[in-house]
Structure 1
Amino acid sequence: MRNLAEHRREIALKALGTTLVKRNVSLVSLVIFSATLLSVPICQLVSDLQRGESPHVFRAIGLLPVPNLTAIKQYEDTLEEESVLTDWLLPGVQTVLTRVFRTGNEQAYLGRDGWLFYRADVDSLIGAGPQKTASAALTTLIDFNRQLEARGITLIVVPTPVKPTIHPEKFSGRYRNTNAPIHNPDYAAFIDGLRSEGVLVYDPSQLLFEAARQETQYLKTDTHWKPKAMEQVAQYLSAFITEQIELSTDPSTTYVKTAEDTVNIGDIAKMLKLAENQMLFPSERVTRHVVQTPSGNLWRPDQESEILFLGDSFSNIYSLAGMGWGASAGFVEHLSAELARPIDKIVINAGGADATRQALVQELNRGHDRLTGKRVLIYQFATREVFSGDWKLLSIPSDKALQRSAMSIAETITVTATIKAKTEPPMPRTVPYAECIIALHLENVDTSDLPETFVVFLWGMRENQWTDAATFKVDQKVKLRLRPWNSVEAVYGSYNRKELENEETWLLDVYWGEMP
């Protein structure tokens, strides 16, 4: 005779296989499920038609007959960016999650006392996410130093601490009594490795940490430092340079500083994707000091200077107006004022591990030797880059190889050409920067005034919105109005820029493009 347990198991199996649902319940469930499933594309279709745009459902047809993974990803990213339901639902839902449950999102952590932290900064300290060892950064910087030494140039590395390194107590109450900056466990070995190979390193971590015990050094809702903290680091770095390197005895240049107030909301608060009128994280007011010449002209970089500065957004904040914190009052400006001498600079938001080095090598390959007459190269980057950046090795061409000249054009020219390759902007509000420049590799141009193939930079994202250029596709013919890149580089060159990976394109002429 079967036991009770086996009998119950048999009954349960029969019940699972013959579950009965009333017809009216089935119909109602089916209607609700279908309506929910179809509501998203229907709402999107109506929105597209109201705005006079090509419906996304029709764009999907363009993926046929054999879609490739790149085209599929681009379509999905575009659909996510332009989703009307996302725009409608996400700000309200995120506001509730943040206000009631104190929950951030995939880019932002909520700290204490209204402070926000960039997830990539925190992850770089604890080794979470797709982190790397510091060995790649160490190898690349030692190689970079060797190449610069061959040209008689001294490298100074300035790793800039991220916010949770200096203010861990604002992230968690467990760190209220911390007596030293919080770094990745491998950071000390990285610094020691550089110094043991003769690389000069100025690390402002301890200076900022000690100052933070008296007053905050970083913005509450932004990834970057406050003006006063930045200016103090510039002062100490100036002293370090003077102590370590014998600069020329050229007459000093006197600069004047003028105080100005700036009000803005931080980049991390924007990445939370809250409603536009949110009051959870109000704007912050800071006082920055604009650097000017005695005649009243704003500070400008000087390519004839014996100092070249490579830096990221920590050097751009208070200098690049597009970041929202004012202009002409950044790290390089204040370092120049402290040294009482001009400085040349290549400063680009994001990609501190490779963006500025690559920009330098590209200029050298195109025949513009930014290293002529240089004695010092200062390389500033955020410390998170040590463990997450792309530290690819780049070769500096010899000065004898720099003989190429670019084809010149009129101030502007309108052309039609075919896209051979392109770069993609990031998804809006997933990075600390609201703007991004993308690159197009163009060919088959309809004029003999330009080379057969060349590179065009143009906006791929403005104010956290993709531009039309972001949806361009390879093999597509595009009509653009072009200007020489060097005529606008001073205006656009410091914005986050996605470069082409093919090193052969680094030898091509570069232009700035706009939709006609």
Structure 2
Amino acid sequence: MKPAPPKIAPAKRTVVPPEPEFTSQEALKLVRVLVIALVVPLVFEIVAWFTPTQTNLAAACVRSGMQWVLTHGLHEGNRDVYLAREGWLFSHAEINRLVHAKRENNETQAQLTALASRLKAQETSLLVVLIPGRAALYPEQIRDGRYTGPVRLKEENTTVSELKAAGIDVMDMTDALWEFRDRQQVFFAQDSHWTPEAMKAVALAVNKQVREKLPRLASAETPIINATILEQVDSGDLSRRLDPLNAARLLGDEGADLIAIQGIAPSAQSPIVLHGGGLLRVFDDPQLSFGGGGESPRAGFATQLGMLFGRPVDVRGMPQAGEGYEDKKLVIWLLPMTELVP
């Protein structure tokens, strides 16, 4: 038989608290909190609909703060941009290209060969100026080491040889810019475009090539121009891909001294056509890096080349199918090597 449990002294008894009551005032407070939690993001989203960038400010602020922690605390970029040594930024696509990551086929070589055939039929010369990628010229920022030359894909030399065999005049500026980087910087650290100094060096090389092979196209007279020095600053397009809201706070700005030239405006009547993309427009287009906003400063590659030629050039974008070249004597295509050999 079980012994009877001892009686609990009244002083040791536990008082069970009454069940909490959910009052109407507390319910109203909870509803208010839920409404605010739903309305505030909705307000930010509605505001984003009426802003030019259509950016949700709340989400952008959170992303900006997290990226600052990743960059300065963990030395990490994001899924689009790799944070390398000394504050240099590289797109992951640049690095993937060098390690032979799987990539889509490119038809640029076939397009060049077809264009050369069309131009040859009308006795027009084609000059292709190949500009290396940033990762090819600054590999030590990605992986520490001593590099005796640019990092190149073996397909590059093969492709260049095939273009020359097709009768195309090719200027591969990779080795020349590798040597140039010992004197001055070729590319910006936080921007995907080349520096004004590298652009001028390439323009000088192209001018020399054209004057040697087609001297009648360049003028011996010095044109009358009005030059202005512009000091531009920009945080860089790669930095903005890390932090679209406040890129300057993340890694700071970079500066560029541009020489804006008036008096060599592009002309459709010029016998020289100049094709290109971002490298061609970077210091002329106010929407691109170092453009400065407002009117175009006319400090880009086309202006520099026109000044060296002593005559304007016919500036166009990337070549289009069926594009006409009547009365043209020379077509120059400023082409990144990464587009020829992706």
TM-score tier by shorter-chain length is 0.7 to 0.9
What are structure 2's unaligned runs of at least 5 residues?
A: 1-33, 292-296
2:210 alignment partner in structure 1 = 241
TM superposition shift of 1:317: 1.3
2:335 alignment partner in structure 1 = 381
* 8 Å Cα contact 2:41-2:58 kept in structure 1: no
1:139 alignment partner in structure 2 = 110
TM superposition shift of 1:124: 2.4
The 1-side partners of 2:70 and 2:279 are apart by 30
Residue deviations 1:452-472 (CA, integer Å, cap 9, x gap): xxxxxxxxxxxxxxxxxxxxx
TM superposition shift of 1:184: 2.1
The 2-side partners of 1:382 and 1:104 are apart by 24
What pairs up with 1:264-413 in 2 under 5 angstroms? 264-273=234-243, 276=246, 279-293=249-263, 299-326=264-291, 327-347=297-317, 356-358=318-320, 361=322, 364=323, 369=324, 371-388=325-342
What pairs up with 1:452-463 in 2 under 5 angstroms? none
Relative contact order: is structure 1 or structure 2 higher (C-alpha 8 Å, sep ≥ 6)?
2
Q: 1:122 aligns with which of 95, 114, 117?
A: 95
State the AA in 1 paired with 2:85: R
State the AA in 1 paired with 2:314: D
Cα gap change, 1:190 to 1:43, in 2 (>3 Å): farther
Q: Secondary structure at the match of 1:241?
A: helix
Q: Secondary structure at the match of 1:131?
A: coil
State the AA in 1 paired with 2:236: G
Query: Where has structure 1 moved over 6 Å in runs of 4 or more?
Result: none
The 1-side partners of 2:289 and 2:71 are apart by 24
The 2-side partners of 1:54 and 1:282 are apart by 26
The 1-side partners of 2:44 and 2:149 are apart by 57
The 1-side partners of 2:152 and 2:180 are apart by 17
TM superposition shift of 1:122: 2.4
TM superposition shift of 1:213: 2.0
The 2-side partners of 1:330 and 1:233 are apart by 12
TM superposition shift of 1:132: 3.5
Q: Secondary structure at the match of 2:331?
A: strand
The 2-side partners of 1:98 and 1:205 are apart by 31
1:191 alignment partner in structure 2 = 160
What pairs up with 1:429-508 in 2 under 5 angstroms? none
TM superposition shift of 1:196: 1.4
State the AA in 1 paired with 2:195: K
* 8 Å Cα contact 1:156-1:377 kept in structure 2: yes
What pairs up with 1:144-155 in 2 under 5 angstroms? 144-155=115-126
The 2-side partners of 1:198 and 1:82 are apart by 49
Residue deviations 1:420-450 (CA, integer Å, cap 9, x gap): xxxxxxxxxxxxxxxxxxxxxxxxxxxxxxx
What pairs up with 1:150-229 in 2 under 5 angstroms? 150-174=121-145, 177-229=146-198
Q: If the length of structure 1 is used for normalisation, what is the TM-score?
A: 0.53
Matched-pair identity in %: 23
* 8 Å Cα contact 2:211-2:218 kept in structure 1: no
TM superposition shift of 1:267: 0.6
TM superposition shift of 1:43: 5.6
The 1-side partners of 2:126 and 2:91 are apart by 29
TM superposition shift of 1:185: 2.5
2:31 alignment partner in structure 1 = none
TM superposition shift of 1:45: 6.0
* 8 Å Cα contact 2:131-2:172 kept in structure 1: yes
Q: Secondary structure at the match of 1:261?
A: strand
State the AA in 2 paired with 1:178: Y
Cα gap change, 1:149 to 1:117, in 2 (>3 Å): same
What are structure 1's unaligned runs of at least 5 residues?
A: 1-38, 56-80, 294-298, 348-355, 389-516
